[in-house]
């Protein structure tokens, strides 16, 4: 039976992955910083201090890592704090999963991610993409969604407004611009699960490759 680990299991995408994997009776471990409600009963919870865990912690044997860690600069409080979560913690967990035997990695990145971007957010996302590709996973699936739609546990006013706006202008985004369309988090989660065991090497997924039906 496949054993998957979800980093960022309390976030919008990670929580949807946990719920969908639970219906498939797959062994799932959720990495969390504190005790939380809302995760499926079948999900094993591993509560960790990320900073200390990356120094001395070990993950149990696993097959696949869903890497959904992420915050915002506003929530983190500064660029440096944001980078600790979105790059340092994310990369550190990916390394731990590889050491624990994982051969597959599914990463939630962002449309426009580029390690050479002048935009700090997109540059950080791009740098993480580059870093995880060098860890030796047999299969790295990188997902670059636009704005994620869905109900969050912590309300973000501007993001909520953006969800409404992008729902209406999405059909107007065609050709290369279609990559910037918003996507329901549960549909992205479903896409990630469906492709977890398919193909080898590094694969990029944009809006056109998402399960949108």
Q: Tokens 């706006």 appear where?
A: 165
**Is 125 designated active site?**
yes
157 falls within a domain? no
Residue 172 covered by a domain? no
Q: Is the pLDDT of residue 104 over 50?
A: yes
Confidence of residue 210 (pLDDT cuts 50, 70, 90): confident
* 163-174 pLDDT per residue, tens: 444 454 545 454
Q: Which residues of 83-95 are buried (b: 16+ CB within 10 A; e: fewer)?
A: bbbbbebbbbbbb
Residue 29 in any domain: the answer is: yes
- The share of the chain scoring above pLDDT 70, in percent, equals 85
- The answer as to whether 85 is a domain residue is yes
Q: What's residue 66's pLDDT? A: 98
Q: How confident is the model at residue 123 (pLDDT cuts 50, 70, 90)?
A: very high
**Residue 6 confidence class, pLDDT cut points 50, 70, 90:** very high
Determine, yes or no, domain membership for 165.
no
CATH classification of the domain holding 89: 3.40.50.720
Q: Is residue 93 part of a domain?
A: yes
Decide if 171 is inside a domain: no
| Contacts (Cβ under 8 Å, ≥6 apart) of 75 | none
Per-residue pLDDT for 71 more than 60?
Answer: yes
* Active-site annotation holder among 3, 95, 121, 133: 121
> How many domains would you assign to the chain?
1
For residue 176, tell me if it sits in a domain.
no
Distances (CA, A) of 170 to 24, 128, 180, 185: 31, 27, 8, 15
Range of the domain at 120: 3-147+184-207
Q: Which of the residues 89, 96, 125, 180 is marked catalytic? A: 125
């Amino acid at each position: 039976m496949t054993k998957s680990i979800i980093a960022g299991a309390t976030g919008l995408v990670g929580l949807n992955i946990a719920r969908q994997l639970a219906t498939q009776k797959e062994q799932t471990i959720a990495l969390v910083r504190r005790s939380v409600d809302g995760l499926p009963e079948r999900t094993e919870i591993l509560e960790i201090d990320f900073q200390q865990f990356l120094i001395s912690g070990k993950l149990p044997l696993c097959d696949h890592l869903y890497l959904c860690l992420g915050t915002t600069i506003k929530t983190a409080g500064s660029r440096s704090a944001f980078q600790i979560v979105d790059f340092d913690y994310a990369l550190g967990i990916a390394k731990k999963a590889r050491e624990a035997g994982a051969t597959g990695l599914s990463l939630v990145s962002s449309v426009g991610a580029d390690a050479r971007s002048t935009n700090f957010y997109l540059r950080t996302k791009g740098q993480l993409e580059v870093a995880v590709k060098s860890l030796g996973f047999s299969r790295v699936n990188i997902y670059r969604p636009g704005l994620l739609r869905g109900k969050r546990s912590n309300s973000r006013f501007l993001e909520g407004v953006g969800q409404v706006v992008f729902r209406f202008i999405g059909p107007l985004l065609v050709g290369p611009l279609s990559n910037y369309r918003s996507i329901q988090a549960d549909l992205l989660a479903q896409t990630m699960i469906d492709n977890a065991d398919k193909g080898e090497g590094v694969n990029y997924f944009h809006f056109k490759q998402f399960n949108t039906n």
